[in-house]
Structure 1
Amino acid sequence: MKRMFFATVGLAAFALAPQGAKAQDATWGCQVLLCAASQSPSWQGVSYCVPPMTKLINAMKKPGFSWPICHEAKAGKPGREQYEDCPAGTSVGYSESGRDWVKRTPNKCVQVVDRCENRNDFHARYGNADANARANIKLRTLYNDRDNLSKNGCKVQVTMPRPQRSNPYFFDIPNDKGTKERFWFNLRT
């Protein structure tokens, strides 16, 4: 199905081109879109895609960069999401930094667990302080009574780094029925 879609986008990109047009004759924006949508292999494994994507990566480093658009495909500029969703049972946590701690980065996953309910499971997961430090996992005991710290310290807040996407950029490309499909890609050479 992905190959069919790739071919459909390719045909759409060349629909307005003169007879005898070739893929390399497409606008730069359409070349980028076609290459970014390549999934198996990714654009790095398609020899045709390396020059336009390398040109894109170099252009992004220059002041005044403007993303090349493929108007025929109606996809616009790509989006970017640096982080994966947090695992089930956890929620997004934020790091605060910058002046007055104003900048909030959604780079953590947070969960409250009861270490008293299943001590063996809790110990197996979080009992090794060195392993927690290597994985950047932080534990904070939550108490019900702030005046009496020995009272019920079963609840523990577990904070861990949020997984980063290997392909943080995406295009939402409309298919022939107008439904947008998301294609993830990266810009690593």
Structure 2
Amino acid sequence: MIVATVLAGSTFAPPVTPANAEDASWGCQVLLCAASQKPSWHGVPYCVPPMTRLIAAMSKPGFSWPICHEANAGKPGRETYEDCPPDTTVGYSSQGDNGWRGEPDQCIKTVDICRSPNKRGIDTELKSATVRRVFGDRGDNCIRQIAIPRPRRTDPYFFDIPNDKGVKERFWFNLNN
């Protein structure tokens, strides 16, 4: 099982002896279950209780993420959105006071609509897009910035877990019941 692999990854670990997942600390149980990929933790009966306990604990005041010190993984990271496509940049749908911009929830594509095969722009290509800005004082310039909603990750949390060579591998997971 993955327990022996994760626990063996610690720098000063004694020779690896088989370990049972049930013997692991809560932090290691969470880490092992979050790292389960096929199936995800939802499909591993052993993983449902520690992950359900985690989800319940997260809603309580003073929550502190359980850590598996033996694995040198720390707390998980979180990235809500997927990367934008290569021909776009990250943008924001709202801007508040004092420069606060909200979440980076848009992908922005700069388009020269005068050179587009469709002279009216790229409406047929990006049906869910909205024109964000028009360059030029009269609004008749050919350059437009098109905003596309940025896709949300199905599995927004991740652990970076060092393998037996010390190279970190990323494991994505979600906390949906």
The TM-score normalised by the length of structure 1 is: 0.79
The answer as to whether partners of 2:4 and 2:18 remain within 8 angstroms in 1 is: no
For 1:161-186, what per-residue CA distance to the aligned partner results, in whole angstroms no more than 9, with x for missing partners? 11111000000000111111110000
Structure 2 CA distance for aligned equivalents of residues 97 and 123 of structure 1: 25
* Corresponding residue number in structure 2 for 1:61: 59
Matches within 5 A, 1:67-86: 67-86=65-84
The answer as to whether partners of 2:84 and 2:150 remain within 8 angstroms in 1 is: yes
For 1:49-96, what per-residue CA distance to the aligned partner results, in whole angstroms no more than 9, with x for missing partners? 000000000000100101111111110110111111101110000244
Which of residues 5, 9, 12 is equivalent to 1:8?
A: 5
* Corresponding residue number in structure 2 for 1:139: 131
Question: How far did residue 143 of structure 1 move?
Answer: 3.5
* Corresponding residue number in structure 2 for 1:114: 112
The answer as to whether partners of 1:6 and 1:38 remain within 8 angstroms in 2 is: no
Q: Secondary structure in 1 aligned to 2:92?
A: strand
Q: List runs of 5+ in structure 1 lacking aligned partners.
A: 127-131
Matches within 5 A, 1:17-96: 22-96=20-94
Structure 2 CA distance for aligned equivalents of residues 7 and 21 of structure 1: 6
Q: Percent identity?
A: 57
Structure 1 CA distance for aligned equivalents of residues 165 and 18 of structure 2: 27
1:154 correspondence with 2:146:
no
* Residues 156 and 149 of structure 1: CA distance in aligned 2, closer, same or farther (over 3 Å): closer
Moved more, 69-78 or 111-120: 111-120
Question: How far did residue 113 of structure 1 move?
Answer: 0.5
- Considering fraction of residues, name the structure with more helix: 1
* Corresponding residue number in structure 2 for 1:129: none
Question: How far did residue 124 of structure 1 move?
Answer: 2.4
Question: How far did residue 20 of structure 1 move?
Answer: 8.1
1:186 correspondence with 2:161:
no
Question: How far did residue 6 of structure 1 move?
Answer: 6.5
Regions of 4+ moved over 4 Å: 10-13, 97-101
Q: Secondary structure in 2 aligned to 1:119?
A: coil
The answer as to whether partners of 1:90 and 1:111 remain within 8 angstroms in 2 is: yes
Structure 1 CA distance for aligned equivalents of residues 6 and 135 of structure 2: 57
Structure 1 CA distance for aligned equivalents of residues 156 and 45 of structure 2: 22
The answer as to whether partners of 1:141 and 1:154 remain within 8 angstroms in 2 is: no
Structure 1 CA distance for aligned equivalents of residues 69 and 57 of structure 2: 19
How many residues align? The count is 171
* Corresponding residue number in structure 2 for 1:166: 154
Q: Secondary structure in 2 aligned to 1:106?
A: coil
* Residues 29 and 160 of structure 1: CA distance in aligned 2, closer, same or farther (over 3 Å): same
